[in-house]
């Protein structure tokens, strides 16, 4: 092999080997750089923009009061001390990195497998950008009094709890914030997501923080509960009203029918136990079931009273009571439903 070719290959090899080292050296932070001190520590608060894309909503759990989310987050802030490293990528522990925490969750996990690493990119003028994907549950604290016709505003509170409001101020990066077009949650409709930043006093830490509020507007699909719960419940109640059209002198079928309706309703409530949220207060569905149970029980009591009147020779009075109840009980059923409707949508 000619000597010139050997020298050329050696030169190329040296360049190839020296390239990464040179790049690594070029992207090294200065020796006097302190990653635990923010840019211009004596100056105004460092401005950091945050963008949140709600990539998916996996579930909303009424029992544990949580929402399972898949989030893509982006941050941007300026560190003039690194302006000369334009185009470099550094590990986030090598630079001053304002960690943002979700106040109502400590279970969000970073999806590192979907990103190469926890790296910060340096752009012109020392602007640093960071992106990461997070998933996991967030506490919702949603009230279920209107279940199953409920709508909620689920708020996620994000702040840099290592840096109060006089050190770091947040703003929203609108270009990357929003809601994905398709979500994997069949029993809810996620209508919208909004973003708002304000200074909030946190009593637990006795400090004001610049806090990002991510509000997710969710509406429950009530059709399932109407078809599977409310329609059969209405039929059971109406079945008990048939007793008013049976001659009170046939008190055996009267009492048998109302007792059957009562037992059917009790069995139906046991079947519903897995579908209803277990909360300490009354929901709309609880009031509907309680009102329906009261009406069926009252029909049983009425059948017992008219039967006793017939036995005591007062059949005409028993028939008059039945005629009144033919209209009174359906009217009470309508009033119960109307009252619940007005209480929930007033």
Question: What kind and span of H or E run contains 55?
Answer: strand 46-61
Question: What kind and span of H or E run contains 52?
Answer: strand 46-61
pLDDT average, residue stretch 34-60:
92
Dihedral (Cα; 224, 225, 227, 229), 10-degree rounding: 150
Q: Which residue has the tokens 């279940």?
A: 147
Higher pLDDT, 167 or 108: 167
Query: Are the beta carbons of 128 and 134 closer than 8 angstroms?
Result: no
pLDDT for the residue numbered 76: 94
CA–CA separation, 215 vs 346, rounded Å?
A: 23
Dihedral (Cα; 152, 153, 154, 158), 10-degree rounding: -170
pLDDT for the residue numbered 17: 35
Read off the tokens for 253: 């079928």
Residue 193 has pLDDT above 90, yes or no: yes
DSSP structure string for 197-227: EEEEEETTTTEEEEEEEEEEEEEE--HHHII
Show the 3-state SS of 97-161: CCCCEECCCCCCEECHHHCCCCEEEECHHHEEEEEEEEEEEEECCCCCCCCCCCEEEEEEEEECC
pLDDT for the residue numbered 208: 94
Query: Are the beta carbons of 253 and 309 closer than 8 angstroms?
Result: no
> Which band of pLDDT confidence, cut at 50, 70 and 90, is reported for residue 5?
very low
Least confident stretch, 25-34, 107-116, 212-221, 236-245: 107-116
pLDDT for the residue numbered 112: 58
> Which band of pLDDT confidence, cut at 50, 70 and 90, is reported for residue 24?
low
Residue (of 309, 201, 160) closest to 247 by Cα position: 309
Residue 50 has pLDDT above 50, yes or no: yes
Query: Are the beta carbons of 177 and 119 closer than 8 angstroms?
Result: no
Residue 114 has pLDDT above 80, yes or no: no
pLDDT for the residue numbered 12: 30
pLDDT for the residue numbered 67: 93
pLDDT average, residue stretch 248-274:
85
> Which band of pLDDT confidence, cut at 50, 70 and 90, is reported for residue 172?
very high
**Which CATH architecture best describes the domain 32-220?**
Distorted Sandwich (2.70)
Percent helix, percent strand, percent coil in the chain, to nearest 5: 40, 30, 30
Contacts of 172 by beta carbon, 8 Å cutoff, 6+ apart: 49, 50, 51, 195, 196, 197, 212
| Integer angstrom CA distances of residue 173 from 71, 130, 167, 196 | 14, 13, 19, 11
pLDDT average, residue stretch 242-252:
85
pLDDT for the residue numbered 22: 44
Residue (of 294, 288, 292, 295) closest to 146 by Cα position: 288
Residue 334 has pLDDT above 50, yes or no: yes
pLDDT for the residue numbered 20: 45
Residue 52 has pLDDT above 50, yes or no: yes
Give per-residue pLDDT as tens, 195-236.
999 999 988 888 999 999 999 999 999 898 888 888 999 999
Query: Are the beta carbons of 268 and 233 closer than 8 angstroms?
Result: yes
> Which band of pLDDT confidence, cut at 50, 70 and 90, is reported for residue 248?
confident
Query: Are the beta carbons of 128 and 122 closer than 8 angstroms?
Result: yes
> What are the boundaries of each domain within the chain?
32-220, 224-345
- Percentage of the residues of the chain whose pLDDT score is greater than 90: 36
CA–CA separation, 197 vs 47, rounded Å?
A: 12
| Homologous superfamily of domain range 224-345 | Neurotransmitter-gated ion-channel transmembrane domain (1.20.58.390)
Residue (of 225, 228, 234, 221) closest to 336 by Cα position: 234
pTM summary value: 0.79
pLDDT for the residue numbered 124: 85
> Which band of pLDDT confidence, cut at 50, 70 and 90, is reported for residue 253?
confident
> Which band of pLDDT confidence, cut at 50, 70 and 90, is reported for residue 117?
low
Question: What kind and span of H or E run contains 332?
Answer: helix 315-345
């Amino acid at each position: 092999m000619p000597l010139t070719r050997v020298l050329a290959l050696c030169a190329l090899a040296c360049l190839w080997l020296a390239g990464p080292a040179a790049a690594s050296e070029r992207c090294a932070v200065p020796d006097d750089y302190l990653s635990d001190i923010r840019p211009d520590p004596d100056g105004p608060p460092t401005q950091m923009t945050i963008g949140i894309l709600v990539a998916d909503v996996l579930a909303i759990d009424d029992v544990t009061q949580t929402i399972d989310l898949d989030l893509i987050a982006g941050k941007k802030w300026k560190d003039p001390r690194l302006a000369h490293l334009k185009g470099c990528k550094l590990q986030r522990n090598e630079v001053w990195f304002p960690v943002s925490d979700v106040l109502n969750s400590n279970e969000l996990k970073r999806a590192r497998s979907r990103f190469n690493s926890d790296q910060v990119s340096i752009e012109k003028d020392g602007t640093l950008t960071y992106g990461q994907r997070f998933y996991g549950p967030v506490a919702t604290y949603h009230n279920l009094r209107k279940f199953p016709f409920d709508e909620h505003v689920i708020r996620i509170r994000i702040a840099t709890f290592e840096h109060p409001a006089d050190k770091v101020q947040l703003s929203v990066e609108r270009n990357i914030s929003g809601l994905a077009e398709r979500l994997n949650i069949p029993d809810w409709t996620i209508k919208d997501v909004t973003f708002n930043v304000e200074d909030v006093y946190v009593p637990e830490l006795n400090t004001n923080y610049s806090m990002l509020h991510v509000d997710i507007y969710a509406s429950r699909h009530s059709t399932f509960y109407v078809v599977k719960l409310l329609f059969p419940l209405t039929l059971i109640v109406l079945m008990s009203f048939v007793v008013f059209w049976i001659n009170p002198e046939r008190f055996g079928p009267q009492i048998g029918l109302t007792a059957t309706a009562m037992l059917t309703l009790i069995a139906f409530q046991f079947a519903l136990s897995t579908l209803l949220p277990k909360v300490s207060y009354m929901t709309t569905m609880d009031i509907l079931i309680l009102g329906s149970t009261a009406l069926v029980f009252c029909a049983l009591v009425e059948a017992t009273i008219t039967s006793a009147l017939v036995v005591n020779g007062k059949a005409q009075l028993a028939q008059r009571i039945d005629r009144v109840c033919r209209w009174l009980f359906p009217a009470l059923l309508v009033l119960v439903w109307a009252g619940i409707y007005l209480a929930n949508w007033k």
